[in-house]
Amino acid sequence: MKVSNCYYIIPTHAIGGAEKRFIELSCFLHRHEKRFHFHLIISKQLHAAILENNEMAALLADGPQVISYDLDENVPVKRFQQNLYEFVCRYAGPDDILHYILLFPGLCFPLKHKKTVFSLTESSLENVNFNGKAMYLLNALRARIVDVLDPAVHNKIRKYLFFKQKRILLTPGSFADTNTFMPAAAGKKANHFVFLGRFFFVKQVVELLQTLPDVCSKLNDAGINNYKFIFIGYGQLEEKMKNILSQPGFNALPVEMIKTGRPQDILSKSKVFFSVQLRNNYPSKSLLEAMSAGNIPLVTDVGDTRRIAAPEFSYYVPENFTAADISNSLLKILSLDEKVLQQKMQASRKFVIDNFSIAASAKYYAGIYDQLGRK
């Protein structure tokens, strides 16, 4: 049996949803899919971040070969793409499969590799400016296979590139490790309300934080106590959030902002998970992990969010939510009979188990590589 090389190329520095998903996927495929040899080409910074995360470091110890690069990113986009592609070419032969995550060498001419996949993980094309949209379209045009995470983005890319529709595929969804993200025993859940993700504008994390003085006041008036808001993550807005939390009116609130390599320990005991993104929450990996750990989703009702946060166990707020929207939803959840609350938590977890397994994603991607390998 011929065994092909497949290289994952991830051009970022930190562990976000896309990075975590494809690193976990590559490790799963490395263990279970023997038709291919898998390799990870990542930055030294991302490699260091993985090694600092005990869970991911252990996963990668039994994973694909890691090849790390150290390139100057303070150069024009075209030069960075050329430098990264030249680095890739040192290791990958012309007949190998290259799977690019987030970035494709669309500005490089010529490309020696024909067996290429580009994964576009953007939740909405409105998240980027005109140049960003143009780059995504160019990448999709030049890649052999295009893998698009969001259904609306998938439809737009297929409309623009109508002549290659059959090679523009829709990802079956993200996934969560349901053996790692598990709920605490019945009765052990606390009144903890969690945000987990990158701190940047699409997530509306600052907007959520700014509602908390009024939200806490409403919870206190309703006799709710022993509650806590927990923000887990890092990113561009981290310093701004710290400054907000140091202000009068915030510094006495039950709010924590932390970083952890084991979010499952917090999610197992929490009751509510916030996913309040602009435009779409589908298919947020952190939301899936929270649901797997038995959390009730409190989400913005936008895009394809209801495909992941179903009405039978989720609560919705408008995209431009207010403190009243957040507090009213929390009070509805906290006023549920314990039996009903447990049923919703169990339904949330079961939805992930039934619809978002890593095995389904692995089968989808292995099918793409098999198709490319036969060409």
Say whether both 70 and 21 belong to one domain. yes
Residue type, 15: I
Q: Does residue 7 have a pLDDT over 90?
A: yes
Residue-level pLDDT at 67: 98
Q: Give the DSSP per-residue string, 303-364.
A: TTGGGTS-TTT-EEE-TT--HHHHHHHHHHHHTS-HHHHHHHHHHHHHHHHHH--HHHHHHH
Q: Return mean pLDDT, the chain.
A: 95
Q: Give the DSSP per-residue string, 248-260.
A: TTTTTSSEEEE--
Does residue 186 belong to any structural domain of this protein?
no
Does residue 185 belong to any structural domain of this protein?
no
Say whether both 94 and 130 belong to one domain. yes
**Range of 171's domain?**
4-175+357-373
In tens, the pLDDT along 88-137 reads 999 999 999 999 999 999 999 999 999 999 999 998 898 899 999 999 99
Say whether both 21 and 119 belong to one domain. yes
Tell the burial category of 321 from Cβ atoms under 10 Å away from its Cβ (0-12, 13-18, 19+): buried
In tens, the pLDDT along 280-314 reads 999 999 999 999 999 999 999 999 999 999 999 99
Q: Does residue 140 have a pLDDT over 60?
A: yes
Say whether both 104 and 121 belong to one domain. yes
- Strand partners of residue 168: 146
Does residue 181 belong to any structural domain of this protein?
no
Whether the model clears a pTM of 0.75, i.e. scores above it, the answer is yes
Say whether both 150 and 94 belong to one domain. yes
The domain that contains 69 carries what CATH number?
3.40.50.2000
Does residue 232 belong to any structural domain of this protein?
yes
Say whether both 333 and 366 belong to one domain. no
Say whether both 331 and 217 belong to one domain. yes
In tens, the pLDDT along 305-328 reads 999 999 999 999 999 999 999 999
Does residue 369 belong to any structural domain of this protein?
yes
Interatomic CA distance for residues 37 and 375, integer angstroms: 17
Say whether both 148 and 232 belong to one domain. no
pLDDT band, very low/low/confident/very high, at 1 (cuts 50, 70, 90): low
Does residue 57 belong to any structural domain of this protein?
yes
Say whether both 221 and 142 belong to one domain. no
Tell the burial category of 89 from Cβ atoms under 10 Å away from its Cβ (0-12, 13-18, 19+): middle
Number of domains in the chain: 2
